[in-house]
């Protein structure tokens, strides 16, 4: 008999704040691809048959697994069975904490760990799951009231602060979970090679050559595990690095070469197609409202 899952209500997405919160219950056809965010992500797995993959680690998820992703870390949620895939996700702009001053400088400590190549997981019991979902339900209501009710913005920030304080307290007491890494070594080797040579002139063929594999074979198993081709992944990695460097104040022409594009026209065109804005415009607007894409 199929286990009946808690009926957590949908949590509204908003694009007008420094943070968003959503309950998602996707059908199995939504597999997603490896991606990253230029902000922080809090991810609570509720139900389904799903694995979470980084570039050097992977785990079959269990209800109550709370995963913390810092900015620019590439990850991929991959449903494996026939069940719907339920999770709660909170995304927070990187600048949100920078604008808060010293009182908030430790709020992102929970996103840090000794080995940043491994999944940062806190496992919640059912009581903690219910508490977390209760907080996010209140957060949804306050975001839904944005600019309509007195103090709604302050209330939303207060609830987010409670969530972050709770997570940091749990992180200080957490035990590192033990699990079998489900990411194939060939894929990890491909990721490592791409990361080491991102600013070089690399391609799917050169990655395969250095791993002593046939390009067609490597690209096939890479796409089966990541949802994207090797060449597209290289582009996504370079764009993520470019965003980070632009945020840090580097000149767009320097960012072009530091991120491996080596041709400014190609860099500007690719960046614009991906973000809808030029590198310079992006750099000038990084403190604009959070956008989901």
**Whole-angstrom distance, CA of residue 111 vs CA of residue 168:** 9
For residue 75, the model assigns a pLDDT of 93
What are all long-range contacts of 158-167, with beta carbons under 8 Å and residues at least 24 apart? 159/135, 160/19, 160/90, 160/92, 161/107, 162/135, 163/42, 163/90, 163/132, 163/135, 163/136, 163/139, 164/107, 164/110, 165/107, 166/131, 166/132, 166/135, 167/42, 167/66, 167/68, 167/110, 167/122
Q: Are strands 76-79 and 85-93 parallel, antiparallel or unpaired?
A: unpaired
Instruction: Tokens for 53, please give them.
Output: 């993959």
Q: What is the pTM of this model?
A: 0.85
pLDDT at 113 over 80: yes
Instruction: Tokens for 181, please give them.
Output: 């890494």
- The mean pLDDT of 72-84, rounded to a whole number, is 84
Encode pLDDT of 4-41 as tens digits. 444 444 433 333 468 999 888 876 555 568 889 889 99
Sign for the CA dihedral angle at 177, 178, 182, 186 comes to: positive
- The mean pLDDT of 166-195, rounded to a whole number, is 91
Least confident of 25-29, 110-114, 239-243, 275-279: 25-29
For residue 9, the model assigns a pLDDT of 43
Residue with tokens 């074979």: 217
Which is higher by pLDDT, 151 or 11? 151
- The mean pLDDT of 83-110, rounded to a whole number, is 86
Which of helix, strand or coil describes residue 255? Answer: helix
Confidence band for 279, pLDDT divided at 50, 70 and 90: very high
The percent of residues above 70 in pLDDT, for the chain, comes to 89
Cα-only R_g, the chain:
20
């Amino acid at each position: 008999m199929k286990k009946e899952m808690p009926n957590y209500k949908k949590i509204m997405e908003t694009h007008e704040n420094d943070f968003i919160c959503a309950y998602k219950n996707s059908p199995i056809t939504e597999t997603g691809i490896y991606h990253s965010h230029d902000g922080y992500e809090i991810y609570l797995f509720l139900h389904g048959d799903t694995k979470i993959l980084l570039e050097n680690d992977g785990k079959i998820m269990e209800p109550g697994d709370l995963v913390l992703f810092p900015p620019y870390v590439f990850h991929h949620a991959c449903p494996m069975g026939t069940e719907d895939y339920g999770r709660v996700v909170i995304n927070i702009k990187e600048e949100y904490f920078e604008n808060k001053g010293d009182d908030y400088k430790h709020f992102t400590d929970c996103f840090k760990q000794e080995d940043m190549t491994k999944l940062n997981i806190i496992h919640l019991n059912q009581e903690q799951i219910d508490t977390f979902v209760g907080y996010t339900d209140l957060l949804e209501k306050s975001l839904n009231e944005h600019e309509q009710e007195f103090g709604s913005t302050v209330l939303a920030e207060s609830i987010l602060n409670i969530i972050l304080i709770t997570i940091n307290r749990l992180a200080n007491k957490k035990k590192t979970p033990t699990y079998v890494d489900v990411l194939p070594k060939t894929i990890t080797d491909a990721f490592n090679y791409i990361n080491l040579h991102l600013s070089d002139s690399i391609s799917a063929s050169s990655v395969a050559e250095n791993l002593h594999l046939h390009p067609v074979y490597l690209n096939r198993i890479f796409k089966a595990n990541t949802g994207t081709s090797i060449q597209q992944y290289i582009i996504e990695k370079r764009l993520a690095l470019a965003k980070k460097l632009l945020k840090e104040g580097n000149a767009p022409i320097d960012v072009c070469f530091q991120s491996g594009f080596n041709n400014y026209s190609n860099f500007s065109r690719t960046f614009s197609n991906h973000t809808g804005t030029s590198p310079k415009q992006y750099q000038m607007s990084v403190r604009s409202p959070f956008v989901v894409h």
